[in-house]
Amino acid sequence: MHIILLGTLDTKRDEVLYLRSQLHQNAQRFNTPLEITLIDVGIRATEDPEINISHTDLLTKYSPDSEDTKKDLFALPRGEAIKYITACATNCVSHILKTNQVHGIIGTGGSGGTSIISAVMRTAAPIGLPKLIVSTVASGNTGPVVGETDMTLMYSVVDIAGSNQLLRNVLGNAAGAMAGMASAYEARLESQAQSRETPSKEEKIRVGITMFGVTTPCVDAIRSHLENNYDVEVYVFHATGHGGKAMERLVDEGHLDAILDLTTTEICDFIAGGEMACDEARLETSLKKGIPTIISVGATDMVNFGPKESVPAKYRERKLFVHNPTVTLMRTSKEECEAVGRFIVGKVDQFAKKPDLVEVWIPRGGVSAISRPGGAFEDADADGALAESVRTGLQGKVKVVEDQRDVNDGGFAVDVAERLMALAKEAGLI
């Protein structure tokens, strides 16, 4: 078993070395051979015989600037120093993962260390490889830390500053958790290797679908139809900002074969400043890859905020819907819907590698459970503006289907699922 251990040894030396000792104790307890690669990601150089890749090694061998490998990071502004050592550590871990079999990455740190370690994990490590950080900021807003990855965070309870029994207990638990995850990952790799050696039937088509609570009936119907009628494996992503990113990352890593981007509500939050926003690159990955892609406009009738009192003052007079005590929805305006349409058009127009494998479906009867006729967010003018924006912007470029049913209509779900499979057949997946 091989585990990478990341830590800022200039400030957390004793704690990182204790975590290292606990990893070894777990391995000895279960009679498991263990190799640990300890990488010092601190801002200042630290000498210790247990360090495998030192601060100096990172700067001289893995610097993003090949002409300047002798930076004094401690003399730089803190933010700049963290950014630089993060780039070095990311290059280092990427190299290790390409040249060695690694079964887990673990680290511990305060806010600065967590920033460095999490960025390395997000950028260098694939989804599926165990990643764990013991952090002082694990109980706060962890979205920027975890991003779209499967990273595990463990709250340190006390600051990682000096040794005490509580911190030792937490670090010991973290070592045990990493040992278990790494062991499971190692076994999975062995099983996959054996499967590749044994002839088997063709692999299932892996389909990614985006979902929200207000589009769940549609996604459930699509999943049921696909799984009952085709040899597929369906991956559903909650469109919370990170859900779309996770799906697109898996596309980029080659883990998904076709996309039904049914719920593109994250674009609304991006445009209006909601709490579940995507980033500027949303929709691009599957289009660039040229895989079968159907884009729809599920839940584009809403922007997401927290409790009602958290809604920005400029939106307080807009049509609001309290979804639950912690989530307040704001109905998108005609202008915002037009902007959503332009966003979709721009991405398809610029990035569709294989336009024949791309379609946009618009359910004119309602884009969510609450925008159907009589619903709290019914607004034919706003929804019509979105449809018009997409229709005119993509005319002659890709197929646009305007369906008179609402997004959660069972017939709509079956038809869009069948169309995705037709595109998959055209792509040679079936």
Q: 7 forms bridges with which residues in the sheet?
A: 40, 108
pLDDT for the residue 194: 81
Q: Which residue is associated with the tokens 């679908």?
A: 209
pLDDT for the residue 87: 96
Average pLDDT on 75-98 reads: 94
* Exposure of 137 in the CB half-sphere (CA atoms within 13 A): 16
DSSP letter string over 8-61?
A: -HHHHHHHHHHHHHHHHHHHHHTT---EEEEEE--SS----TT-SB-HHHHHHH
Average pLDDT on 220-238 reads: 97
DSSP letter string over 319-382?
A: -EEEEETTEEEEEPPHHHHHHHHHHHHHHHHHH-S-GGGEEEEEETT-SSTTSSTTSTT--HHH
**SS3 per residue for 158-178:** CCCCCCCHHHHHHHHHHHHHH
Q: Which residue is associated with the tokens 């005319």?
A: 395
Cα–Cα distances in angstroms (integers) from residue 350 to residues 242, 345, 346, 360, in the given order: 23, 8, 6, 15
pLDDT for the residue 200: 58
Using pLDDT thresholds of 50, 70 and 90, give the confidence band for residue 54: very high
- Say which DSSP state 332 is in: P
Helices (DSSP H) in 155-256: which residue ranges?
165-197, 216-229, 242-252
> How does strand 293-298 pair with strand 320-324?
unpaired
pLDDT for the residue 252: 95
Average pLDDT on 396-404 reads: 97
Query: Residue 418: is its pLDDT beyond 90?
Result: yes
Rg for the chain, CA atoms, rounded:
24
Q: Which residues contact 213 (CB under 8 A, 6 or more apart)?
A: 323, 369
Can you give the length of the chain in residues? 430
Q: Which of 159-163, 222-226, 290-294 has the lowest mean pLDDT?
A: 159-163
Which residue in 179, 214, 166 sits closest to 106, CA to CA? 179
CB 267, CB 212: distance < 8 Å: no
Query: Residue 133: is its pLDDT beyond 80?
Result: yes
CA angle 364, 370, 373 (to 5 degrees): 55
pLDDT for the residue 68: 66
Rounded distance between C-alpha atoms, residue 399 and residue 14, angstroms: 61
Query: Residue 19: is its pLDDT beyond 80?
Result: yes
Average pLDDT on 319-342 reads: 95
DSSP letter string over 85-124?
A: HHHHHHHHHHHHHHHS---EEEEEESHHHHHHHHHHHHHH
Instruction: Record the pTM.
Output: 0.85
* 90-102: pLDDT as tens digits: 999 999 999 999 9
Average pLDDT on 380-390 reads: 97
CB 370, CB 216: distance < 8 Å: no
- Say which DSSP state 314 is in: G
pLDDT for the residue 337: 98
Query: Residue 173: is its pLDDT beyond 70?
Result: yes
Using pLDDT thresholds of 50, 70 and 90, give the confidence band for residue 67: low
pLDDT for the residue 198: 65
Task: State which amino acid sits at residue 31.
Answer: N
pLDDT for the residue 369: 95
Average pLDDT on 121-142 reads: 94
Q: Which residue is associated with the tokens 């037009």?
A: 338
Rounded distance between C-alpha atoms, residue 182 and residue 371, angstroms: 46
H/E segment holding residue 213? none
Using pLDDT thresholds of 50, 70 and 90, give the confidence band for residue 197: low
CB 241, CB 265: distance < 8 Å: no
Query: Residue 193: is its pLDDT beyond 90?
Result: no
pLDDT for the residue 30: 86
What structural domains and CATH numbers belong to the chain?
Answer: 2-192 (3.40.50.12020), 205-426 (3.40.50.12030)
pLDDT for the residue 407: 98
User: Average per-residue pLDDT in the chain?
Assistant: 94
Rounded distance between C-alpha atoms, residue 306 and residue 324, angstroms: 9
Query: Residue 201: is its pLDDT beyond 90?
Result: no
Structure tokens at 427: 């792509």
Instruction: Provide, rounded to the nearest whole percent, the portion of the chain with pLDDT above 90.
Output: 89
Rounded distance between C-alpha atoms, residue 358 and residue 348, angstroms: 8
CB 248, CB 286: distance < 8 Å: yes
pLDDT for the residue 396: 93
Which residue in 375, 359, 242, 203 sits closest to 294, CA to CA? 359
Cα–Cα distances in angstroms (integers) from residue 12 to residues 45, 151, 206, in the given order: 13, 21, 43
Average pLDDT on 294-298 reads: 98
Dihedrals φ, ψ of 111, to 5°?
-65, -45
Rounded distance between C-alpha atoms, residue 47 and residue 36, angstroms: 17
Query: Residue 399: is its pLDDT beyond 70?
Result: yes
CB 128, CB 189: distance < 8 Å: no
Q: Which residue is associated with the tokens 């039904």?
A: 260
Which residue in 331, 335, 358 sits closest to 419, CA to CA? 358
pLDDT for the residue 280: 95
pLDDT for the residue 76: 86
Average pLDDT on 189-198 reads: 79
Average pLDDT on 242-255 reads: 95
